[in-house]
């Protein structure tokens, strides 16, 4: 996915407690808070992107937590008022970035970020890709009962990395593992991780034993980074 932005840009960033925003996916939001509404309305009017980052567990109670090192960049596609004070927003993830430093704190945080690009490579594990794609379609059959809505959604799935990112979004429950997947730059690495997590015994959520091993790896990696 190519973004028509400079390599480094300044964007507002929203942190959410359980959302890892993957490129090629869409995120519906119902926004009640006035400051968050201002972020979306101003970005929509100016045609600017918004960063949406996972808030780690220790920061759940923080109003504007510092974002993860890597997070998704979204473009609001639809914005409308519902029920008086609620703003309904559909945000399309158009890429991902790495945070550099904050540039503004009030009325909402802005960050200087570097646009990231995934590796351009040939997919080497086609069989595993098709297995994950089949699992995604089975999940959609169960969770989107309306045939028309489901068919429309499937029609939007036109790239392998988009399919893999939706597998991570819908199937993987662990926020730490979803964040780990977002940080991968190679689709083959993502497929390898997902294939080890989604076994024949656990097709609609990650295998708990494998997931625990990955979560321990992520925790150790974070501790080493903080120590350095």
Among 157, 170, 160, residue whose Cα is nearest residue 125: 160
Examine the pLDDT at 193 and tell me if it is beyond 90.
yes
**Nearest Cα to 171, choosing from 151, 130, 199, 152?**
199
Q: Which of 33, 154, 48, 29 is nearest to 90 (CA)?
A: 29
- The answer, yes or no, to whether residue 228 has pLDDT greater than 80, is no
- Hey, CA dihedral for 165, 190, 95, 41, is it positive or negative? positive
Peptide bond into 173 cis (omega under 30): no
* Separation CA 215–CA 203 (nearest Å): 19
Query: What does the pLDDT look like over 70-118, one tens digit per residue?
Result: 999 999 988 888 887 899 999 999 999 999 999 998 989 999 999 998 8
What letter does residue 127 receive in the DSSP assignment? H
Pairing state between β 50-54 and 8-16? parallel
Q: Which residue did the predictor score with more confidence, 169 or 78?
A: 169
- Judge contact between 113 and 98, C-beta under 8 A: yes
How large a percentage of the chain has pLDDT more than 70?
94
CA–CA gap between residue 92 and residue 142 (Å, rounded): 23
Domain extents in the chain: 8-116, 126-227
The percentage of the chain sitting over the pLDDT mark of 90, rounded to a whole number, equals 71
Q: What is the pLDDT of residues 12-67, one digit of tens each?
A: 999 998 999 999 999 999 999 899 999 999 999 988 999 999 987 655 556 678 89
The residues, ordered by sequence, that sit 6+ positions from 23 with a Cβ below 8 Å of its Cβ are 1, 72, 93, 94, 95, 96, 118, 161, 162, 165
d(CA 28, CA 42): 18
pLDDT for 150 beyond 50: yes
Among 79-83, 181-185, 201-205, which stretch is predicted with the lowest mean pLDDT?
79-83
CATH of domain 8-116: 2.30.130.40
Q: Residue 149: what pLDDT?
A: 94
Q: How confident is the model at residue 6 (pLDDT cuts 50, 70, 90)?
A: confident
pTM above 0.75, yes or no: yes
């Amino acid at each position: 996915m190519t973004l028509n932005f400079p390599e480094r840009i300044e964007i507002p960033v929203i942190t959410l407690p359980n959302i890892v925003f993957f490129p090629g996916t869409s995120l519906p939001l119902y926004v009640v808070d006035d400051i968050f509404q201002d972020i979306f309305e101003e970005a929509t009017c100016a045609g600017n992107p918004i960063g949406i980052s996972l808030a780690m567990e220790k920061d759940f109670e923080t109003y504007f937590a510092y974002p993860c090192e890597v997070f998704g960049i979204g473009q609001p596609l639809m914005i409308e008022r519902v029920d008086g004070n609620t703003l309904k927003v559909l945000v399309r993830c158009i890429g991902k970035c790495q945070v550099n430093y904050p540039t503004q704190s009030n009325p909402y945080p802005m960050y200087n970020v570097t646009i990231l690009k995934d590796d351009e490579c040939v997919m080497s594990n086609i069989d595993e890709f098709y297995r994950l794609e089949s699992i995604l379609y089975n999940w959609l059959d169960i969770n989107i009962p309306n045939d028309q809505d489901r068919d429309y959604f499937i029609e939007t799935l036109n790239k392998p990395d988009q399919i893999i990112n939706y597998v991570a979004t819908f199937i993987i429950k662990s926020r730490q593992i979803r964040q780990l997947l977002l940080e991968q730059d190679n689709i083959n690495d993502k497929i390898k991780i997902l294939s080890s997590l989604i076994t024949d015994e656990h097709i609609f959520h990650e295998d708990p034993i494998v997931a625990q091993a990955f979560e321990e790896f992520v925790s150790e990696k974070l501790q080493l980074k903080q120590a350095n």
